[in-house]
Structure 1
Amino acid sequence: MKKLLSTLLFSAGLILSAQIGIKTESPKAKLDVNGDVNFRNKIVVLNTTDNTLFQGNNDQLLVSQGEGYPPTWKTLRIPEYETNKFYLIFNNSFSNKTGLKFTSTEQSAITSRSTTFAKGNDISAFSGFKKIEGLSPTIKVFSAESKTYFQFETVVQATFPANTSPDISIDYACGIFVDDKLVNLRQRNLKASSASSTFITHNQIGVVSNLSTGEHVISVACSRLKSYNTTNDVVLAIGINASDNINDFITQSSLKVDVYEIPQVFNSITN
């Protein structure tokens, strides 16, 4: 009788507390097991739409959907990688229409380009360079063996009059930076033509190998370097129109980033 009464009191306590602890006197959930769990039959998930029980399919995993939501069955997919072979892990494209404009007073103060334009130099050393907004994505590298490719394209225009003798032109440069360190740079000269407001298409492709694993911020920055025989009112525009003979749709900038890796950590992908 005492055993029966104790059992009834214990069961009543479990119902009132709505928590069961196994090998723990202070359960933190409705069922709190402090030890190994061995399932001999099946695990099911309640489908709240029709109140049916679903066991999942072969090779599926039970995945949390966050606090307050029931778990769900997901299919695990692990890509088949070959040893020592690069695979495209990340690719995306970005664009910007606001661009950059440089007046004659915003010309860079850089005197030694060969020293400043060295791979790995910090952007703080690049006097007069401005970053193009919207072209600063964050990428994540998982492998110590990787190659990251960049393709930058824009239009460069200046409010030149028709060319004279001697030639009217402007030197400019655009650099691609990873974590504000230079990885690629192209320097060009925009020369006036027989028509006013000359413009050219600027294409730039770069690559950097074996970035450290983790997150990295990409950015593109450009500068007006030196003017030749120009008047003070000549404006240089990169990624935006300086004159109305073209528009911001034509001059917009784009950046494409591709990250290839030799996989070392197999990250699961669920559908």
Structure 2
Amino acid sequence: MKKILPILFMTIGLSLSAQIGIKTESPKAKLDVNGDTNLRGKIAVLNTTDNSLFEGNNSQVLVSQGDGKPPVWKALRIPEYEANQYYLIFNNSFSDNTGVKFTAAEESTITSRAATFTKGTAYSNFSRFKKITALSQPINVYSTQSKTYFQFETVVQANFPGAGNTDTSIDYACGIFVDDKLVNLRQRNLKASTSDNTFITHNQIGIIENLSKGQHTVSVACSRLKSYNTDNITLGIGINVATNIDSFITQSSLKVDVYEVPEVFNTITN
């Protein structure tokens, strides 16, 4: 009887109390345990839809939904990475259909291409280069060990007259820049042909290694370098200058892939 009465009184006291504290006289929740907790049974979360108790599935964890909301069961997925191996961490593609145009008066004043077109040269040193607006975009790098690949594609056109002299042509160049520093550059020549308004497809691939961690800006800029036997001819890069093609056909695209040796592992829940 002596043992039963204290237990009975404690049970009555707990049932009347709004908060229960174990090893604390000032509980801060309905149940406040000041010490280690060893669970030997089930943990369940109330499903407010049908008032049922859900114990979760194998390997799920309880995840908070924020203040005042009940926790939910979530599956925790951690990607498996091998040491010193590169993985595709960031990839995106961008497009532009406004392009850039150059008249004969807008030729670059660059006279020594070999000296100027050097990797790492600042964009400000490239005379009369124009950026293709929508291809200037941010990219993210999360590791000190990375390889970033760029694939640029566009259409170049000049409004050459039909049956033109094949010596009639225009030199042009396009560069890929990261943070306004040259990463890759390609020069080509567009020649007149027996048909008017000649156009060609321009493809360009660049790579840069070990960008610093953080956000960077990638951009593409092009220029008209030199004209041969041309008068009043307009050059369009990423934009049509005649009606035999349109801006849909000439639009530019830039694909960016960042491969990294992971240093930060972000877990994913679903």
TM-score class normalised by the smaller sequence: 0.7 to 0.9
Query: What secondary structure does 1:227 align onto?
Result: strand
Deviation at 1:108, TM superposition (A): 2.0
CA deviation vs aligned residue, 1:16-64 (integer Å, no higher than 9, x gap): xxxx9x9899x7xx68989877463655444343333333323223334
Aligned residue for 1:227?
227
1:82 aligns with 2:86: no
Q: Which runs of 5+ in 2 are unaligned?
A: 1-12
Structure possessing the higher radius of gyration over alpha carbons: 2
* CA distance in structure 2 between the aligned counterparts of 1:168 and 1:36, rounded to whole angstroms: 87
Which amino acid in structure 2 is aligned with residue 145 of structure 1?
Q
Contact 1:166 1:229 in 2 (8 A): no
SS at match of 1:197: coil
Distance 1:65 1:151, change over 3 A: farther
Paired residues for 1:8-87 under 5 Å: 38=37, 40=39, 43-65=43-65, 70-87=70-87
Counterpart of 1:175 in structure 2 is 175
Going from structure 1 to structure 2, the CA distance change for 1:86 and 1:200 (only over 3 Å counts) comes to: same
| Aligned partner of residue 115 in structure 1, secondary structure | helix
Give the secondary structure class of the aligned counterpart of 2:124.
helix
Q: CA deviation at 1:100?
A: 1.4
How many aligned residue pairs are there? Answer: 258
The corresponding residue for 1:258 is: 257
SS of residue in 2 equivalent to 1:138: strand
Paired residue for 1:204? Answer: 204
Query: Which AA in structure 2 matches 1:123?
Result: Y
Structure 2 residue matching 1:134: 3-state secondary structure = helix
Q: Percent identity?
A: 66
User: Hey, what does 2:108 align to over in structure 1?
Assistant: 108
1:165/1:75 CA distance change after superposition, 3 Å: same
Q: When the two structures are superposed, what TM-score results if normalisation uses the length of structure 1?
A: 0.80
Amino acid at match of 1:100: V
More displaced stretch, 241-250 vs 195-204: 241-250
Q: Which blocks of at least 5 consecutive residues in structure 1 are unaligned?
A: 1-6, 15-19
Seen in structure 2, the aligned counterparts of structure 1 residues 186 and 54 have a Cα distance that, compared at 3 Å, is same
Tell whether the 8 Å contact from 2:157 to 2:197 is kept in structure 1 after alignment: yes
- 1:118 partner amino acid: T
Letter aligned with residue 252 of structure 1 = Q
Structure 1 residues 58, 219: closer, same or farther in 2, change over 3 A? same
Q: How far did residue 75 of structure 1 move?
A: 1.5
TM-score when normalising by structure 2: 0.81
Q: What is the alpha-carbon distance in structure 1 between the residues aligned to residue 192 and residue 25 of structure 2?
A: 82
Judged with a 3 Å threshold, the aligned counterparts in structure 2 of structure 1 residues 83 and 62 are, in CA distance, closer, same or farther, namely: same
Corresponding residue of 2:5: none
Instruction: Give the whole-Å Cα distance in 1 for the aligned partners of 2:159 and 2:31.
Output: 74
Segment drifting more, 181-190 vs 86-95: 86-95
Q: CA distance change for structure 1 residues 200 and 34 in 2, over 3 Å: closer, same or farther?
A: farther
Q: CA deviation at 1:216?
A: 1.7
**Residue in structure 2 matched with residue 17 of structure 1 by the alignment:** none
